[in-house]
Every structure is written in C-alpha cells, then in structure tokens.
Amino acid sequence: MLQVNFLRDNKERVLEGLKKRQFRNLELVDHAIATDDERRKIQFELDSQLSESNKISKEIGLLMKEGKKEEAESAKSKTAQLKESTSELKSQLDVKEKELINILYQLPNIPHEQVKSGASADDNEIVYQSHDVEGLGEGAIPHWELAKKYNLIDFELGVKIAGAGFPVYLGKGARLQRALVQYFLDKNVEKGYMEVNPPHVVNEASGYGTGQLPDKEGQMYFINEDNLYLIPTAEVPVTNLYRDVLFEEKDLPIKNTAFSQCYRREAGSYGAHVRGLNRLHQFEKVEIVRIEKPENSYTVLEEMVEHIKEILSDLELPYRVLRLCGGDTGFASAMTYDFEVWSAAQEKWLEVSSVSNFETFQANRLKCRYKTDGKSQLVHTLNGSAMALPRIMAALLENNQTEEGIKLPKKVAEYAKFHLIS
C-alpha cells in the first residue's frame, strides 16, 4: 500500500508510474489526498477539544478546593459537552480513516524507473536468454502424452477426485516431484535461506498484508465457515511472519525459503494453453522471501535473479529472463523478473518463476519496520519462486525425451535416484 504522504509529496511521479501500468483510475490519487486533508482537519479539531477538556478537568479540581462550587459545576457542564463533541469527532475520524484505507487499497505500487511502459506481456523486455531454441521435430510429444505413456501423472483420475486442474502423480512422477522439491530447498539453504514450514491457510489480515486482498480475492479459494483462505503461494504466510514486527537494524536481512502446496482458482482459464501441467488449481512450489533495508533491495533483487539462473542451469533447461513492463507487473510489485523455460514439444515458452521487489508496498500494509539511528522506517520485501514445479516438470519431460525414454539431467538424477524413465 502506498503511503498518503508519498502521494502528496510525489504526485507527478505517482501519476507517471500509474500511467506506465495503464492504470485508469488516476483520480484516486487526488481523492486519497483530499480524504487525508479531511482526516487531518478532523484530527486537529479532536486533538484541540481533548486538550481543552483536559485543561478544564484540571481547573475543576482547583475550583473545588477553593470552594467555588458554582464555577466548578459550570466547568463540569462544559466538559460534558466536550465529551459528547469529541465522541462524535472520533466517529467521524474512524469513518474517514476507513475511507482513506479503502482508496489506498485500490492503488497499485509505483513501478521502478527501469520498468518500461507497456500494456501486456507482449511489451516485456527479454534481458537474458541461455540458448537458441528449436523444436524436437517429428515424433516429439507433449508432456501430458509422455505422462500417460510412462504412467507418471493421471489427469483423469484427478478430475474424478476433485476436478480439472488437480492431477495425481504416480510412481516415478511422484518421486521426481519430491526430488525436485528437495533439490530446490537444498539449493536455497546453501545460499543462506532458512527453511520454514508455514500454514497452508491464512486469515484475511494476512491476505491484505501481502496484497492478495482485495486485488486477487476472486482467484483465491475461501473457507467460508472459518473465514480463511487457501494460500496461492508460500509468500503469503512467510512474509506475514513479520507482520507488526519492529526489527533492530542488526537483525536484517531476513532470508526464508518454504515449500508448500499452492491453490489458485484460475477463474476464466480455458483452452489448449492450459492443457496438462501448463495451468493447475493445485501445485507445488518452493519460495524464497527476503526482508531487506531499502538501500540494499535492488542489489538483492539481482542476486536473487542470479540464484534462479543457477538453478535452471543445473536443470539443463533452455531459459530466458524477462523484465516485466508496467502493464504486466503485479499489483504489489515495483519490479518483476519472469523466468521462462523452453517447452521443446509444445514449442513455446513456459513461465516457471517470478522474482519481485515490492519496496515498501507490502511493508506498509504489514507494519513491518526496523530501527535505525533511533528512528523506525519501513523495510523492503522481496520474493521469488525457486521454483514452481508443474512447468519445470513439463519441460524436463518434453526436452529430455529420447527413443530409449526420458533421460534426466545429472543433477535431477542425483536427487531422484534414477536417470531414465522408460
């Protein structure tokens, strides 16, 4: 969430950033500032009346001691009137504060200056590509056919149990999933991330804390009876570990990694582009989350990008890195890099990771700060997928198919304890 003082002091920069995102409701900026002006006016009047009430209360005691009962009673009458007035002002202030928060919740983060303007994924910048890519030629089959051929994943059985988008992994397919998860976690721990095992459900405050609510409410599974949400990624519970936390400067940085199931409704997603593992309602992912001092966050973002590149190199998958344009950058992010692997059988790029810097956007919602030079200020939060499993699995199956079977890359084979699926 943007701070209203930031909107007031940097209005032109804010409007320029929102235009980069193709954000249409620019009037919300003026609305937020005007609402805050009204809030401040009410707050000033409330503070003035509370101060006067305290002053009169002290005078009443003196008047009673001096025997000036009539004057004391008159003062008491005045404090009663002030009490009624301050009660009304407190109600007005509460309404105005809620109105301001609701406006601020509708404003996305301001993109970093390096983020280019753009309307969609077509405008994203390719900043790195590991290999030239090509298809496998005739005879190559997509991962959903390979999964059926080698009895690795049963999509129909998942439909029977839960519905489309909930596959069942079998035999070496299940073992390969588990091996990849362990490899990703080990790789992250080697880089200094502490592993945590968070809940897979979160409350409403947690959803607001990281920006999933109210922006993505329709994409989350909701447990109505308990007012809880199934997590769309481990980013949500892990980042919320630090909600309402005031760090000492020496405590930073915080580096966490977590494995979780992820649940996404993916409403409105249909067609060939979501076939097989391309888009699921439930999938496995390993996440990395960082809490950083503001001056370090963009150096750290590049460090996280290099970490993901190292993982994909170990997997021996052709990949590319894109810096997202304003229109394709997530609601809470100031800058995002997407990683895509080449699907040789489908002959298209599949997104497998996003690495983002949220600057103070999440921290302001979370009230996550650190003390420096005797003052407190907001931290910067970052997160990334290291990695999401479904499309990694799809690319591994498709890119490594041979006449003998699927030959796993060396690092994957070490963790899976087998090198060939046949």
My answer on whether 198 and 317 are in the same domain is: yes
Of 216 and 105, more confident: 105
Q: What percent of the chain has pLDDT above 90?
A: 86
Q: Which of 71, 105, 139 is the last residue of a domain?
A: 105
**Binding-site positions for L-serine:** 233, 264, 287, 383
My answer on whether 399 and 321 are in the same domain is: yes
Q: Which of 43, 76, 105 is the last residue of a domain?
A: 105
Alpha helices in 246-400 (DSSP H): 297-314, 361-366, 389-399
Residue entry with tokens 């005007």: 34
Residue 405 pLDDT greater than 60, yes or no: yes
Report residue 271's pLDDT band, with 50, 70 and 90 as the boundaries: low
**Binding-site positions for ATP:** 264-266, 351-354
pLDDT on residue 58:
79
Q: Is residue 306 helix, strand or coil?
A: helix
State how far the Cα of 36 lies from the Cα of 295, in Å rounded to an integer.
29
Say how many domains are in the chain.
2
- 308 phi/psi in degrees, rounded to 5: -65, -40
Residue 146 pLDDT greater than 80, yes or no: yes
User: Any idea which of 50-54, 226-230, 373-377, 416-420 has the lowest mean pLDDT?
Assistant: 50-54
- The range of the structural domain enclosing residue 69 comes to 4-105
pLDDT on residue 64:
73
Q: Which of 51, 71, 105 is the last residue of a domain?
A: 105
Report residue 78's pLDDT band, with 50, 70 and 90 as the boundaries: confident
pLDDT on residue 268:
54
My answer on whether 57 and 205 are in the same domain is: no
What is the tens place of the pLDDT at every residue in 298-325? 999 999 999 999 999 999 999 999 999 9
My answer on whether 10 and 81 are in the same domain is: yes
389 within domain boundaries: yes
| Among candidate residues 128, 126, 130, 125, the one with its CA nearest the CA of residue 315 | 130
My answer on whether 88 and 138 are in the same domain is: no
Residue 7 pLDDT greater than 80, yes or no: yes
My answer on whether 382 and 281 are in the same domain is: yes
The answer to whether 21 touches 332, Cβ cutoff 8 Å, is: no
pLDDT on residue 270:
54
My answer on whether 167 and 207 are in the same domain is: yes
| CATH code of the domain containing 84 | 1.10.287.40
- What rounded mean pLDDT belongs to the chain? 94
My answer on whether 243 and 384 are in the same domain is: yes
My answer on whether 53 and 200 are in the same domain is: no
Tell me what the mean pLDDT of segment 326-345 comes to: 96
State how far the Cα of 153 lies from the Cα of 155, in Å rounded to an integer.
6
Containing 196, the helix (H) or strand (E) segment is strand 194-196
Q: Is 25 exposed, middle or buried (0-12, 13-18, 19+ CB in 10 A)?
A: exposed
Q: What letter does residue 401 receive in the DSSP assignment?
A: B
My answer on whether 183 and 326 are in the same domain is: yes
Residue 175 pLDDT greater than 70, yes or no: yes
Tell me what the mean pLDDT of segment 193-203 comes to: 98
110 within domain boundaries: no
Q: Answer positive or negative: Cα dihedral of 269, 273, 274, 275.
A: positive
My answer on whether 131 and 68 are in the same domain is: no
Please, what's the largest Cα pairwise distance for the chain? 107
200 within domain boundaries: yes
Query: Length of the chain in residues, anyone?
Result: 422
My answer on whether 100 and 127 are in the same domain is: no
**Binding-site positions:** 233, 264-266, 287, 351-354, 383
111 within domain boundaries: no
